[in-house]
Amino acid sequence: MARHFSSESPAGGAPPGGARGRSVVASLLRSLRPEQWTKNFIVFAGLLFGLQLFNAAAVVRTVLAFAVFCVLSGAVYVVNDICDRDADRRHPLKARRPIAAGELSRSVAGSAAAVLAVGGLAAAFLLGMPFGLVALAYLVLQLFYSGPLKHIVIVDVLIIAAGFVLRAAAGAVVVAVPISHWLLVVTSLLALFLALSKRRHELVLLADGAVGHRPILGEYSPYLLDQMISVVTASTLVAYIFYCISPETVQKFGTDLLGLTIPFPLYGIFRYLYLVHRREGGGSPSQMLINDRPLLLCVGLWVAAVVVIVYVRPFGV
């Protein structure tokens, strides 16, 4: 005989109020995708390349800027999951997201996203008008991406790249250092590389069901994406090489040794391509960075090399 439990009884199928509250909080936290917040580390580029790494006040402001972008990006992820809930249910991995799985209601998720967005923007403007305006531009751009812009071929990946550029620009303005044009170019190209690789992963993973999940994928093909990735890969490496050896860079840092860091992005990009083509990776750049030790070690060594060359200046150069 089927058993019926009252919703008021903790002994029934529904969890008690405290457990439900914890479940909602846990589901909301998952919807904020903290594993993706590693993308926001790009805000530290302004601190590193602006020669402010040992400036305590600048470090604190950059950490706060990082926190602001984590809050804002979390709000955007929630909005994106609300908009894509039906399509996500047809995806083998995204179907597990709390909103798509029905673990988190749209009303609760939407309210939380609004609170986070307003709170994040308020904190951004407290850090200064320039930083606040960049943060606002990022939020507006990402919200439009969650709506119509993700359905326009090529524009969708360009918007993703623009999000990374705005993060880098925010990291510069929050510590009041000039925004290097080279930094923005390399950042945009690298972000395009990651976005195109993600599109390729979705096409390969979903195969015939790709268009049903995301209609814009019908405008792409693995061959087309491979051509785009090849162009962006070469452009990224060339732009970084020119940045390292340019007279402007040498004059700014007082050393011509930054070219010694070129092998790290070479290996990192080639390793990423290997994971995309041979290990069917690329769906989540953040998770690939965290889970792939050679790639994580490469990034760590690159950061260490830049710090030593720019701040310690070995060999007295």
pLDDT greater than 50 at residue 59: yes
Q: Which residues neighbour 305 within 8 Å (Cβ) at sequence distance 6 or greater?
A: 260, 261, 264
Q: Is the same domain home to 55 and 113?
A: yes
pLDDT greater than 60 at residue 13: no
Highest averaged pLDDT of the listed ranges 82-91, 248-257, 302-311:
302-311
CATH number at residue 52: 1.10.357.140
The rounded distance, in Å, linking the Cα atoms of 39 and 51 is 21
What is residue 213's predicted lDDT score, i.e. its pLDDT? Answer: 60
The rounded distance, in Å, linking the Cα atoms of 75 and 81 is 10
The answer to the question of residue 303 being in a domain is: yes
Q: Is the same domain home to 91 and 57?
A: yes
Q: Is the same domain home to 103 and 87?
A: yes
DSSP per residue over the chain, as a string? ------TT-TTSSSPPHHHHHHHHHHHHHHHT-GGGGGGGGGGHHHHHHTT-TT-HHHHHHHHHHHHHHHHHHHHHHHHHHHHTHHHHTTSTTGGGSTTTTTSS-HHHHHHHHHHHHHHHHHHHHHT-HHHHHHHHHHHHHHHHHHTTGGGSTTHHHHHHHHHHHHHHHHHHHTTT----HHHHHHHHHHHHHHHHHHHHHHHHHHGGGHHHH-GGGGG--HHHHHHHHHHHHHHHHHHHHHHHH-HHHHHHHT-SGGGGGTHHHHHHHHHHHHHHHHS---S-HHHHHHH-HHHHHHHHHHHHHHHIIIII-GGG-
Comparing 134-148, 161-175, 207-221, 248-262, the range with the smallest average pLDDT is 207-221
Q: Is the same domain home to 53 and 170?
A: yes
Residue-wise pLDDT for 234-245, tens only, equals 999 999 999 999
Q: Is the same domain home to 158 and 141?
A: yes
What is residue 229's predicted lDDT score, i.e. its pLDDT? Answer: 93
- Section 61-77 average pLDDT: 95
| Residue predicted with more confidence, 189 or 217 | 189
- Section 80-104 average pLDDT: 81
Q: Is the same domain home to 42 and 160?
A: yes
Comparing 5-9, 95-99, 268-272, the range with the smallest average pLDDT is 5-9
Q: Is the same domain home to 252 and 138?
A: no
Residue 223: domain span: 180-317
- Section 89-111 average pLDDT: 83
| Residue predicted with more confidence, 301 or 152 | 301
Residue-wise pLDDT for 156-206, tens only, equals 899 989 999 999 999 999 999 988 788 889 999 999 998 898 888 878 776
Q: Is the same domain home to 209 and 122?
A: no
| Residue predicted with more confidence, 281 or 23 | 23
Query: How many structural domains compose the chain?
Result: 2
pLDDT band at 105 (very low <50, low <70, confident <90, very high): confident
Q: Is the same domain home to 269 and 210?
A: yes
The answer to the question of residue 220 being in a domain is: yes
The rounded distance, in Å, linking the Cα atoms of 247 and 267 is 25
This prediction has a pTM of 0.84
Share of the chain above pLDDT 90, in %: 50
Q: Is the same domain home to 73 and 118?
A: yes
Q: Which of 178, 208, 239 is the last residue of a domain?
A: 178
Q: Which of 178, 205, 227 is the last residue of a domain?
A: 178
Q: Is the same domain home to 277 and 193?
A: yes
Q: At CB < 8 A and 24+ separation, what contacts does 146-154 make?
A: 146/76, 146/79, 146/80, 146/83, 146/84, 147/83, 150/214, 150/216, 151/215, 151/216, 152/216, 153/216, 153/219, 153/220
Q: Which of 158, 178, 198 is the last residue of a domain?
A: 178
pLDDT greater than 90 at residue 264: yes
The whole-chain average pLDDT of the chain stands at 85
